[in-house]
């Protein structure tokens, strides 16, 4: 069955436009409640959200829809996406719901779901919900309506969980850390986590007003963090996105470290501790230098499709623990069931404290390859997949790059664009072949 509403990460769009409207969310909540009732007599659903002003409206509609189908609701208030996943498991709830559009600007919002185990739900569950939405509503009678309550200490419980993933014999004493929560869901949580582990904390991006989430701050705009780290002579900077499942970090010199580098560092730290790391998962966009460096150390590397959902699927299939994306979605499945920006930051800082080394020193064995990306606008009906000119240049590029570079060509999912990426040890070579590939489609 084709899904009409669910994408790779739940349902997302612009508030006030289908499907992010209160009437749709009411129907969605009712359909979700009906699906849950098939296997649970009195299902409990946890609802968390980020700091967008539209969260109030969508939360109320979702709550009403769930209650109308006989499902009870526990409201968590503003809480990071991974915090909702954790509490869903800890509270023995049947479902967790997050109202957030992650790194998008405030006019957007979305809804995503977690299973009772804190994992993202499979396609067949989403298909069952969409099928239920096509049916007439079946309102339960007054005696069977679900109830609603608020979990007042949700933030405190999640703070303690994050701290529990940091080594008991280590602390952050003596470190000055700038924390940027993107005016998002971790604004009241992230500074406390690092402070309670001993760091001196300076907070930016922690004054949400409903309209400023991800606005020139956070993981999508790390320059603000880099400036703050340098200005305050801090040791490290931590940047999260609006729902705090994404992480970028900054060192004392203001250098920004992306998810590819942080994933490599996390693997290295495990190896240094004598732990077995059979493999790690990246995506089609993960820098080739990471793959080569890990394989030199006997760590297998597998690429998933772009999206943390697909990284997670590969980790489960392989039975591995570590994976991530360059954008900062990082997974350590022995610490949490889903990607968590705060827990990933603690894993990186733990490695720095334990070794007494800086991020640059820990990453000496990794030199990222230059990447050249060109977007080519396609003509209507242009069949790029069967273009002889493109195929010829592509074969030439792959032969020239051999095993020290790669070509990735993929269509945009939202625009009539072809994204051409060439990666090579030599930046000029990457630029040359990317331009050659692009020109082959323009002639």
3-state secondary structure the chain: CCCCCCECCEEEEECCCCCCCHHHHHHHHHHHHHHHHCCCCCCEEEEEECCCCHHHHHHHHHHHHHHHCCCEEEEEEECCHHHHHHHHHHCCCCEEEEECCCCCCCCEEEEEEECCCCCECCHHHHHHHHHHHCCCCCCCCHHHCCCEEECCCHHHHHHHHHHHCCCCCCCCCCCEEEEECCCCCCCCCHHHHHHHCCCEEEEECCCCCCCCCCCCCCCCCCHHHHHHHHHCCCCEEEEECCCCCCEEEEECCCCEECHHHHHHHHHHHHHHCCCCCCEEEEECCCCHHHHHHHHHCCCEEEEECCCHHHHHHHHHHHCCCEEECCCCCEEECCCCCCCCHHHHHHHHHHHHHHHCCCHHHHCCCCCCCCEEEEEEECCCCCCHHHCHHHHHHHHHHHHHHCCCEEEEEEECCCCCEEEEEEEECCHHHHHHHHHHHHHHHHC
pLDDT digits (tens, 9 = 90+) for 275-327: 999 999 999 999 999 999 999 999 999 999 988 889 999 999 999 999 999 99
Domains of the chain: residue spans and CATH: 11-152 (3.40.120.10), 157-255 (3.40.120.10), 259-362 (3.40.120.10), 371-442 (3.30.310.50)
pLDDT digits (tens, 9 = 90+) for 99-126: 999 999 999 999 999 999 998 898 899 9
pTM for this model (two decimals): 0.93
Under-70 pLDDT residues of the chain: 1-2, 413-414, 443
For residue 414, the model assigns a pLDDT of 66
The answer to whether 412 is a known catalytic residue is: no
Q: Which of 54, 100, 102, 344 is catalytic?
A: 102
């Amino acid at each position: 069955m084709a899904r009409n509403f669910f994408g790779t990460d739940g349902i997302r769009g612009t508030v006030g436009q289908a499907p992010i409207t209160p009437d749709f969310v009411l129907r969605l909540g009712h359909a979700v409640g009906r699906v849950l009732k098939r296997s649970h007599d009195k299902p409990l659903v946890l609802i968390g959200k980020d700091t967008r002003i539209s969260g109030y409206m969508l939360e109320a509609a979702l709550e009403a829809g769930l209650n109308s189908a006989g499902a009870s609701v526990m409201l968590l208030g503003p809480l990071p996406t991974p915090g909702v996943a954790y509490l869903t498991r800890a509270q023995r709830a049947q479902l967790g719901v997050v109202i957030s559009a992650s790194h998008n600007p405030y006019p957007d919002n979305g809804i995503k779901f977690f299973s009772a185990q804190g994992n993202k739900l499979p396609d067949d569950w989403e298909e069952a919900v969409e099928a239920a939405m096509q049916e007439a509503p079946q309102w339960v009678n007054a005696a069977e309506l679900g109830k609603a309550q608020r979990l007042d200490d949700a933030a405190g419980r999640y703070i303690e969980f994050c701290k529990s993933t940091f080594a008991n014999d280590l602390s952050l004493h003596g470190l000055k850390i700038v924390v940027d929560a993107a005016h998002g869901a971790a604004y009241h949580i992230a500074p406390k986590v690092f402070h309670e582990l001993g760091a001196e904390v300076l907070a930016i991006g922690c004054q949400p007003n409903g309209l400023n989430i991800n606005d020139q701050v956070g993981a999508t705009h790390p320059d603000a963090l880099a400036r703050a780290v340098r200005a305050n002579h801090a040791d490290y900077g931590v940047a999260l996105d609006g729902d705090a499942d994404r992480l970028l970090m900054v060192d004392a010199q203001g250098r920004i470290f992306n998810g590819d580098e942080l994933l490599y560092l996390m693997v290295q730290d495990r190896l240094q501790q004598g732990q077995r790391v059979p493999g790690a998962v990246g995506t089609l966009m993960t820098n080739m230098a990471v793959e080569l460096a890990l394989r030199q150390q006997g760590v297998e590397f597998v690429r998933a499709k772009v999206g943390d959902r697909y990284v997670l699927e590969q980790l489960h299939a392989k039975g591995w623990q570590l994976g991530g994306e360059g954008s900062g979605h990082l997974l350590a499945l022995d610490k949490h069931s889903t990607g968590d920006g705060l827990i990933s930051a603690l894993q990186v800082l733990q490695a720095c404290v334990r070794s007494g080394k800086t991020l640059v020193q820990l990453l000496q064995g990794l030199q990222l390859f230059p990447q050249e990306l060109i977007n080519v606008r396609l003509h209507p009906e242009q069949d790029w997949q069967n273009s002889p000119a493109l195929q010829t240049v592509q074969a030439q590029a792959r032969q020239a790059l051999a095993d020290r570079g790669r070509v990735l060509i993929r269509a945009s999912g939202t625009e009539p664009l072809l994204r051409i990426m060439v990666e090579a040890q030599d930046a000029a070579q990457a630029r040359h072949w990317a331009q050659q590939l692009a020109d082959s489609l323009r002639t």
